[in-house]
Amino acid sequence: MADTTYGSCCIDEVGALHIDSECVVHYGQTCLSPTSVLPAFFVFGKASINVSSCVKHLIDYASKSDKPIMILYGLEYAHVIPQIREELGLSKTDSQLSVANVLCSFISPSKDPRESMEHPRPYSESDSSDSLSSSRSYRLGGLTWDLPEGSKIEDYLLFWIGSDSSAFANVVLTFNGCDIVRYDAEEDSLVTEFYQQRRILKRRYYLVEKAKDANIIGILVGTLGVAGYLHMIHHMQALISAAGKKSYILAMGRPNPAKLANFPECDVFIYISCAQTALLDSKEFMSPVITPFEANLAFSRGSEWTGAYLMHFQDVINSVKSESEAHIGSEEPRFSFFQGGYVEDHKTNDQAKNGEEDTGETMTLVQAAEKALQLRGNDHNSLTKQTAAKSGPEYFLNRVYRGLEINSENTLPEPYIVGRSGKASGYKHE
Amino acid sequence: MSVIAHVDHGKSTLTDSLVAAAGIIAQETAGDVRMTDTRADEAERGITIKSTGISLYYEMTDASLKSFTGARDGNEYLINLIDSPGHVDFSSEVTAALRITDGALVVVDCIEGVCVQTETVLRQSLGERIRPVLTVNKMDRCFLELKVDGEEAYQNFQRVIENANVIMATHEDPLLGDVQVYPEKGTVAFSAGLHGWAFTLTNFAKMYASKFGVSESKMMERLWGENFFDSATRKWTTKTGSPTCKRGFVQFCYEPIKIMINTCMNDQKDKLWPMLEKLGIQMKPDEKELMGKPLMKRVMQAWLPASTALLEMMIFHLPSPYTAQRYRVENLYEGPLDDKYAAAIRNCDPDGPLMLYVSKMIPASDKGRFFAFGRVFSGTVSTGMKVRIMGPNYVPGEKKDLYVKSVQRTVIWMGKKQETVEDVPCGNTVAMVGLDQFITKNGTLTNEKEVDAHPLRAMKFSVSPVVRVAVKCKLASDLPKLVEGLKRLAKSDPMVLCTMEESGEHIVAGAGELHIEICVKDLQDFMGGADIIVSDPVVSLRETVFERSCRTVMSKSPNKHNRLYMEARPMEDGLAEAIDEGRIGPSDDPKIRSKILAEEFGWDKDLAKKIWAFGPDTTGPNMVVDMCKGVQYLNEIKDSVVAGFQWASKEGPLAEENMRGVCYEVCDVVLHADAIHRGCGQMISTARRAIYASQLTAKPRLLEPVYMVEIQAPEGALGGIYSVLNQKRGHVFEEMQRPGTPLYNIKAYLPVVESFGFSGQLRAATSGQAFPQCVFDHWDMMSSDPLETGSQAATLVADIRKRKGLKLQMTPLSDYEDKLGNLLCVIMRNAATGGNLLCVIATG
């Protein structure tokens, strides 16, 4: 059973718990995100592929390039990997060609979110006994692979077998410094041009810069199953309040423009979800939706984007740990590319405020109430918007409409009128 | 004071003479050093790019000050001089210079006369209440190059001065008084910056007054205007009666100089020495050996030193800070004019609270740091002092854009070098170290404790950044360096705009091609070795409509329960400009706004009160107006419609460029009875779609920015100019011969997009005789229809969409507009099964 509210790649743990199940068998597309409560067994499905043609393409391509090749694949093609290995005549010592392994087909939840990452259970068919302890291991979209000591992933040419799915998009984003080739099994052809995907990276960079200017941030709960999601939410909350900004947690299932537009006060949303559904970008969204990794870049001062991109919760949290220790916030205000000048984050303000008063939460209400009781002149027609609101109540104060107006002068009941009838798509009188 | 003029009229050269007089550079090299051009590229190109301050100290003799009528205390004068660039692309530097000075020396080429940039800067300076004095420069050209006779030269000068006065006369200002300049009052000088000599009529009046037995002022009057001297009768008349009659100016000023120059140039030393002796000029022995031009230069420098004439003019006629701040306080201070800060500025009180305006940031020699350069308007700034920095976005009473920091060092700017001083009192320019991390471009400084001070008014620039390039680094890992470089670039130039495109590209926007070129070069320097790739320059366009929507369009909300009926129409002529200028805006009093709209633009009085918003960014030149009658709950969706409008007006439907000059009318609204079904989630995107649909039905058009080009060239070059302009879609709207010169003045409109490489081509076509000055003038509608495939506008739209990474095809109207009574196909994707369920719902 897949998670219908969020994304079909995740396990619907909540749904499974309704029927007191003890284990979930997940069919089809999956992101292999670690679960938090239930053990899960995965059936990847077997997509059809012409193995010999694929191998031929691969060998042709490998002969043209002098880089070692790392073969990655969509999980629906995992079933042919042993066959491909065989046809390639791959020996373990051959460093020119290596194949990634499937992480596992069975996940059991662990209390510590980091544990499941440190001890990945390798896929039963693969032979991992000889993996070197000093090698660097990578994990992405359910695949895992090791690189021998001294080599970097940038030195490799990534060969992806599978369709242009979100798993592949993640690979392109994460390893944006690598050369990547995709073999499309359905079309039986090689795709080498990923202009559109590369463009996404720049676009994400723009969103990060935009998020830096945000005052109110909505944290969208995009999963209730992926291990560590609660930890991530708390981490984001802490991060945002440390940056002197205001956050609200919103749970709305899979976000769409109409749902998000119900919160126009939020300048940016952080979507906390599994790696494969995390990238939400559409012109229809009024405010940008970013991933936790991007939020980290945007809200921790002094962190600069260098091209690295992380998708998994564990990676993000680990990276923050190492970063925050190294970095002590500089005094210099932040330079905003949208306002073309220095912008002071409200950090100092809030710190000062928290010192004098007890908690920010209760005081905002008090202040809001104070403001609401102020004598406001006939400025209802004024078109000026005040400076950007820093919290929800403040935003609402600037709105023109403040609820139904009760006209106290006219006490007589209004005469009743006949309303419309029919359906919204076309009423009867139309 | 600042030195302002058109490009190549000799500001920096003339400034040299003044610097030489203060003993900073040798008199002999004055005119060649260009002390105030501190950058390598300035020297290389021979144009000034950045304005440079220099503080000069002079001691005047008692004799020269005896007729000074103003208040004075001692004979020592400190002049804070700022040399500014003349090229129009850098006129933001002029703005920054004018703000922190009280007087301006306007330099005009005696042959070329008042040019477009002279006019611009003159208007700017008067707007800032800065008193001008004029110098007619390049006098040497009259004598050596053109060899014009006295009367013709006089007519020339007279015309130049008159032209300048015409501009000044349009700026009547009771506080500033009469700002026009008169040679006979000593507010006009005649100079030859290259040779380092200059005179005012005062100089000659002094020489002749005793000879004629009249007062100096009487003599000065005779030396200008319709006063003639008959050498036969030795009498002054006001008519050119007899042939022996000569104009006073020609007889007593022009001719003697002409004789002197000719004598020197012809090396008639036997005649020269007695003449010099008569005038009481001493020459050094080695100087006597000089021949030709160098001899002439030395002789003229000794006889009529430029510094004396100009200094005298400045000291006598330009106001001291004490005088000037009295009337400038209104222009300068944003707060109430009766608080103690206004009073301190008004009185130029060195013991009052500190009020200091930082007008620009100057890159320091150690990489990455900047000096904050500005002027102290009241109080005293000293090393180690703690100051409050109020940035351009500071709102009194709030903590936004406000910092308290200490000044590490105060420095006086001396062109190429700086001198550290303990403190700087009001009235002076100053550079400060240690504040650069808190000031982007400009700001106001006060004492730490002066929490209720308002900031000084921000500067308004006369040019706008319409040319843009995208920059990216060659190596992705250099991105932090690029960001840092852009940050510094934004600081070092008052007007450059460093922004970001939706696609994630970094954009540098400037006034023109030259400006961008300099900015990119600076950026490269700031990045310390990391390579950047610069895209071809592009211009940003605007989207607008040509006529009213052909029908009322309707859009439904996502839940189909709400409907919005809208129409778009073009704004009345001039309305968009009025909004740009700020004459009409969101913060106006609604009564005044509706009065202007009704009287100037023929709006209905009631309608003017129904404007919901301006956009984009709440101040832009588009509006949304409520035309509904008796709609329930309308008030409730206003916020949502406005939010949708702000969004849509920022990214139009054609190429996601800003919209301009469109008025959207909300004609009717049908809303669901339950508030939950007409919330902002439903209405914002609906409003956006309705706006797009109404625009697409109103003959959408693109607007492109257009430069006004002014070219000065001799008759022979006209053919070349016309052919280049024709090639570039430009059209000439004014051609005029400058009276008394062989030069023609051409004014033309030229699309900014065609201006790249324009000046190079023009130079090639006219063998270097024509030099254009381009200023952004207006937005021009492109006549072709962007919706018609294959049209010029459609190709342009496709290009922009490609650049921005959008879908190449525009979203069709049918996606934005909904129709009643149609078959509705709703494809619902069932996420659980992954299958598609097609429902066909018949409606109506």
CATH topology of domain B702-784: Alpha-Beta Plaits (3.30.70)
CB contact under 8 A, B680 and A262: yes
Tokens standing for residue B618 = 């709440």
Length of chain A measured in residues: 430
Q: What is the DSSP string of A88-133?
A: HT--TT-SSEEEPEE--SEE---SSTTHHHHSPPPPTTS--TT--T
Residue B69 banded pLDDT, cuts 50, 70, 90: low
pLDDT for A187 equals 78
One-letter amino acid of A267: D
CB contact under 8 A, A383 and B586: yes
Tokens standing for residue B174 = 């009771």
Mean pLDDT of chain B: 82
One-letter amino acid of B28: E
CB contact under 8 A, B635 and A383: no
Half-sphere exposure in the Cβ direction for A341 (13 Å, CA): 19
Residue A373 predicted with pLDDT over 50: no
Residue B138 predicted with pLDDT over 70: yes
Chain A CB contacts of B679 under 8 Å are 262
Phi, psi of A89 (to 5 degrees): 65, 45
Q: Which residue has the higher pLDDT, A199 or A160?
A: A160
B330 has a chain A CB within 8 A of its CB: no
Sign of the Cα torsion A355, A358, A359, A361 reads negative
In Å, how far is B588's CA from the nearest CA of chain A?
8
Length of chain B measured in residues: 844
* Chain position carrying tokens 């030069």: B743
Query: pLDDT tens digit string along B679-698?
Result: 888 888 899 999 999 999 98
Query: pLDDT tens digit string along B604-637?
Result: 888 888 888 887 888 889 999 988 887 777 888 8
CA distance B35 to B404: 35
pLDDT for A279 equals 79
CB contact under 8 A, A339 and B558: no
Q: Note the CATH number of domain B2-317.
A: 3.40.50.300
Q: Average pLDDT of A64-69? A: 77
Size of interface A-B (CB pairs under 8 A): 162
User: Helix, strand or coil for residue B360?
Assistant: strand
In Å, how far is A115's CA from the nearest CA of chain B?
31
Residue A117 predicted with pLDDT over 60: no
CB contact under 8 A, A261 and B612: no
Residue B703 predicted with pLDDT over 50: yes
Which of A12, A269, A332, A344 is the best mutation test for B, with the most CBs of B within 10 A?
Answer: A344
pLDDT for B570 equals 92
Phi, psi of B818 (to 5 degrees): -110, 155
Question: Using CB atoms, which residue from B398, B500, B672 is nearest to A338?
Answer: B500
CB contact under 8 A, A424 and B403: no
Q: Which residue has the higher pLDDT, A109 or B167?
A: B167
User: Helix, strand or coil for residue A241?
Assistant: helix
Residue A356 predicted with pLDDT over 50: no
Burial track B718-747 (b if 16+ CB lie within 10 A, e otherwise): bebbbebbeebebebeeeeebebbebbbbe
Query: pLDDT tens digit string along B278-306?
Result: 877 777 777 777 777 888 888 888 888 88
pLDDT for A109 equals 67
Q: Note the CATH number of domain B327-447.
A: 2.40.30.10
CB B541 within 8 A of CB B796: yes
Query: pLDDT tens digit string along A378-426?
Result: 444 444 444 567 777 777 777 777 666 666 666 777 788 887 788 877 7
Q: Average pLDDT of A336-352? A: 56
| Minimum mean pLDDT range among A104-118, B202-216, B236-250, B356-370 | A104-118
CB contact under 8 A, A206 and B501: yes
Q: Average pLDDT of B519-536? A: 84
Sign of the Cα torsion B616, B618, B621, B623 reads positive
Q: Note the CATH number of domain B543-699.
A: 3.30.230.10
Chain A CB contacts of B561 under 8 Å are 424
Asked if the domains B467-540 and B702-784 are classified in one and the same CATH topology, the answer is: yes
B614 has a chain A CB within 8 A of its CB: yes
Within chain B, how many helices (H) and strands (E) appear? 28, 37
H or E, element range at B125: helix B116-127
CB contact under 8 A, B498 and A337: yes
In Å, how far is A26's CA from the nearest CA of chain B?
12
* Chain position carrying tokens 């899979």: A254
CA distance B161 to B143: 19
In Å, how far is B359's CA from the nearest CA of chain A?
14
Asked if the domains A51-125+134-199 and A213-351 are classified in one and the same CATH topology, the answer is: yes
CA distance A129 to A284: 50
Residue B28 banded pLDDT, cuts 50, 70, 90: low
CA distance A305 to B501: 17
User: Closest chain A residue to B400 measured between Cα atoms?
Assistant: A344
CA distance A308 to B92: 39
Distances (CA, A) of B222 to A237, B216, B225, B231, B761: 83, 10, 7, 14, 49
CA distance B99 to B91: 13
Chain A CB contacts of B639 under 8 Å are 264, 399-401
pLDDT for B14 equals 84
Residue A366 banded pLDDT, cuts 50, 70, 90: low
Q: Note the CATH number of domain A51-125+134-199.
A: 3.40.50.11850
CA distance A343 to A335: 6
User: Closest chain A residue to B478 measured between Cα atoms?
Assistant: A306
CB contact under 8 A, B437 and A331: yes
In Å, how far is B657's CA from the nearest CA of chain A?
14
Chain A CB contacts of B820 under 8 Å are 425-426, 430
Tokens standing for residue B179 = 């700002």
pTM above 0.80, yes or no: no
Q: Average pLDDT of A174-196? A: 77
CB contact under 8 A, B824 and A425: yes
B630 has a chain A CB within 8 A of its CB: no
pLDDT for B841 equals 41
CA distance B621 to B610: 16
Which of A196, A203, A337 is the best mutation test for B, with the most CBs of B within 10 A?
Answer: A337
The structural domains of chain A, with segments of one domain joined by +, span 51-125+134-199, 213-351
CATH topology of domain B467-540: Alpha-Beta Plaits (3.30.70)
User: Closest chain B residue to A338 measured between Cα atoms?
Assistant: B499
Half-sphere exposure in the Cβ direction for A331 (13 Å, CA): 9
User: Closest chain A residue to B439 measured between Cα atoms?
Assistant: A342
CB contact under 8 A, A384 and B586: yes
pLDDT for A100 equals 76
CB A99 within 8 A of CB A84: yes
Residue A92 predicted with pLDDT over 80: no
Backbone dihedral region of A257: left (phi > 0), alpha (psi from -120 to 50 degrees) or beta? alpha
In Å, how far is B389's CA from the nearest CA of chain A?
12
User: Closest chain A residue to B435 measured between Cα atoms?
Assistant: A332
Chain A CB contacts of B501 under 8 Å are 206
Query: pLDDT tens digit string along B74-113?
Result: 778 888 888 888 888 888 888 888 888 888 999 998 887 8
Distances (CA, A) of B591 to A371, B125, B204, B242: 27, 33, 59, 67
In Å, how far is A72's CA from the nearest CA of chain B?
24
Question: Using CB atoms, which residue from A262, A335, A384 is nearest to B487?
Answer: A335
pLDDT for A112 equals 46
Chain A CB contacts of B402 under 8 Å are 344
Sign of the Cα torsion B328, B330, B331, B334 reads positive
CB contact under 8 A, A258 and B685: yes
Residue A325 predicted with pLDDT over 50: no
Residue A114 predicted with pLDDT over 50: no
Within chain A, how many helices (H) and strands (E) appear? 13, 19
Which residues are paired to B131 by β-bridges?
Answer: B103
pLDDT for A94 equals 57
Phi, psi of B529 (to 5 degrees): 100, -25
Chain A CB contacts of B403 under 8 Å are 333, 344
In Å, how far is A419's CA from the nearest CA of chain B?
10
Interface of B with A in 747-776 (CB under 8 A): none
The structural domains of chain B, with segments of one domain joined by +, span 2-317, 327-447, 467-540, 543-699, 702-784
B416 has a chain A CB within 8 A of its CB: no
Residue B793 predicted with pLDDT over 70: yes
pLDDT for B687 equals 92
Q: Name the CA radius of gyration of chain B, rounded.
A: 32
DSSP one-letter code for A301:
T
CA distance B565 to B693: 10
Q: Average pLDDT of B552-570? A: 90
pLDDT for B828 equals 35
**CATH architecture of the domain formed by A213-351:** 3-Layer(aba) Sandwich (3.40)
Residue B134 predicted with pLDDT over 80: yes
Helix boundaries (H) for B564-622: 575-581, 590-601, 605-608
CB contact under 8 A, A28 and B834: yes
Chain B CB contacts of A213 under 8 Å are none
Query: pLDDT tens digit string along B765-784?
Result: 888 777 788 888 889 998 88
Percent of chain B having pLDDT more than 70? 93
In Å, how far is A226's CA from the nearest CA of chain B?
18
